[in-house]
Amino acid sequence: MAEYGSIRINLDKLIKEAGISKNKLSHRAEMQRSQINHYCNNEITRLDTDVLARLCTVLDCQIGDLLEFIPPQS
């Protein structure tokens, strides 16, 4: 799949910028802490739009802030 590029999840960066703890985010976004860690470590293979909406709402960001397209290497 690398020939098509990849999607990077910038949740860890957004958490730091917002000054919120992962525990507080997990409570506000109604997610398990382990799930947040998977998103922070880019270990997600299938994105859940409901989860993305909750993260954007809690972090007051746009989807483009959370997800980044990395083009394929030539």
The pTM score is 0.89
Here the contacts of 45-51 (C-beta below 8 Å, separation 24 or greater) are 47/7
Q: How confident is the model at residue 2 (pLDDT cuts 50, 70, 90)?
A: low
Residue-level pLDDT at 1: 54
What is the reported pLDDT for 36?
97
Fold that domain 2-70 belongs to in CATH? 434 Repressor (Amino-terminal Domain) (1.10.260)
Q: Could you read off the pLDDT of 4-60 as tens digits, one per residue?
A: 999 999 999 999 999 999 999 999 999 999 999 999 999 998 999 999 999 999 999
Mean pLDDT of the chain: 95
